[in-house]
Amino acid sequence: MGSGLFLASGMAIRDAGPAVLAVFGLGFLAMYLEIRALAEMSVANPTPGSFLIYCHQVLGPGFTFVSGWIYWFSSVLTMSSEVTAAALLTRVWYPQWPVWSWALAYSVAVVGVNFFGVRGFGSVETVLAGTKTLALLVFVALGGFYLAGVLPHAAGTGGWTALTRHGGLWPHGLAGGAGALLLVLFSYAGTGVIGMAAAETKDPGHTIPQTVRWTALLIGVMYLGGILVLLTLVPWWQVPLTSSPFVAAVAHLHLPFAAGIMNLVLLLAVLSTMNAALYANVRVLYSLSSQHQAPAAFGRLNRRGAPANATWASAGLLAATIVLAYVLPHKAYAYLVTATGFQAMFIWLVVLLTHIYYRPYLQRHSPGRLTYRLFAYPYTTLAVIAIVLTGLIGSLGVGSERAGALVGLAGILLALAAWLVLRHRLTPRMESLRPPKPGPAD
């Protein structure tokens, strides 16, 4: 839960108007079904590497190579978009400072934390994640009080009538909703960490399904409730694009210091997402090295047990993307978040395609492990694939998103080209590490 919700939602609202609430509802459904599909595979075979292992088993080394590198590159883009969002939030207080200077300062701080290994990451992330979750729940509650008439009506707020004024519910038609879909789906993308955590849980068969239920419930309340409150506090055509619409909404409530506090909380939220992205990013690069898909140097650990070389590599590419904040300070975030969203949805497609083939694979080799299943297979999986493809295609039709989407697509094509060049050298090494077929359930 980072800038995809707290900042990019403003872009999605401008694209779709009040209909963005329906788009967020569709995104929520897609997210829920996607993590159910991932959870099904994770419960059946809880292993480090999550979907990359299942992908290797049923789709082969080519898909694994491309997906692994796109996962790493999209994580770098996530860090870049989050740190740019952090810089934009900070400029609310210090508008005279350029975007790139804050982006650089925050990057140095977050990279430094990750050199302390898992303990440094865990300590910082616990505080930041708890803060943003509590703040969003409070925002939804305050908005609910306003809509119920408990808080007085504030001048300039939209109220319920803002949902139907200025063009109605669909002011830009279905095309506007399709254009907003990629940004909305990206705001849900972080839920895939559930699959990554499966191998480290004591009882995946119980813990993962429970986590999926609670994740869906909490995200449904926070995302859908938050967007509904936002649309009624700030008329959709007045939602800001270069600052957080949530801060603008809180300002409309005229509560003392509330807007400044919310801006600080959202700053911590995007730094939290950046911190988590770097942690996952470095370990994906480390895993690629251990699977002979990346240079061996990225698999070495420092004295603290942290993959220092992988951290430096990720930090170096992050620094390169910060140059965009220097060259195009007003457009950098839009480009980065669209490119990130495009590649994140490519990963969703790989997860979903893997699920279509992995269930028959398990039914052949170890049917007893299929204790948790996505309902209405394969139609639910195919439905999410259709939603994701609509978001990808829709982003190419929106002028403000097209450049970033093309960058995301170019990254995928580059990874595919690298595989075509290196496949004869890498395939024997990857096949030597091919995961064994899952055995019968215990």
> What would the pLDDT profile of 400-414 be if each residue is shown by its tens digit?
788 889 989 999 999
Q: Which domains does the chain have, with CATH numbers?
A: 3-428 (1.20.1740.10)
| Least confident span in 36-50, 117-131, 229-243, 377-391 | 117-131
CB atoms within 10 A of CB 125: 17
Res. 439 pLDDT band, cuts 50 70 90: low
Q: 63-79: per-residue pLDDT in tens?
A: 889 988 998 888 888 88
pLDDT for the residue 149: 74
Calculate helix-pair angle for 20-44, 8-16, nearest 10 degrees.
Answer: 130
Confidence check: pLDDT of 387 > 60: yes
Give the residue-averaged pLDDT of 118-141: 76
Selected residue with higher pLDDT from 30 and 434: 30
pLDDT recorded at residue 123? 64
215 C-beta neighbours (distance < 10 Å), count: 17
- pLDDT tens digits along 166-209: 888 898 888 889 889 999 999 998 777 776 666 667 788 888 88
Provide the mean pLDDT of the chain.
83
Report the pLDDT value the prediction gives residue 121, as an integer from 0 to 100.
55
In this prediction, residues 88-107 reach a mean pLDDT of: 86
Confidence of residue 348 (pLDDT cuts 50, 70, 90): very high
The percentage of the chain sitting over the pLDDT mark of 70, rounded to a whole number, equals 88
Distance, in Å, from the CA atom of 371 to the CA atom of 393, rounded to the nearest integer, reads 35
Q: Which of 41-45, 287-291, 412-416, 430-434 has the highest mean pLDDT?
A: 412-416
How far is Cα 334 from Cα 341, in angstroms, rounded to an integer? Answer: 11
Residues sharing a CB contact under 8 Å with residue 31, sequence separation 6 or more, in sequence order: 185, 188, 191, 216, 219
- pLDDT score at 418: 92
CA angle 124, 267, 314 (to 5 degrees): 60
Give mean pLDDT, residues 379-406: 91
**What would the 3-class secondary structure string for 311-372 be?**
HHHHHHHHHHHHHHHHHCCCCHHHHHHHHHHHHHHHHHHHHHHHHHHHHHHHHHHCHHHCCC
Greater pLDDT, 118 or 211: 211
Give pLDDT, residue 83.
86
Residue 259: both structure tokens together: 């807007």
Which one is predicted more confidently, 380 or 310?
380
Residue 157: is its pLDDT beyond 70?
no
Place of tokens 């220092």: 308
Per-residue pLDDT band at 346 (split at 50, 70, 90): very high
pTM: 0.86
Q: Which has the minimum average pLDDT: 232-246, 314-328, 342-356?
A: 314-328
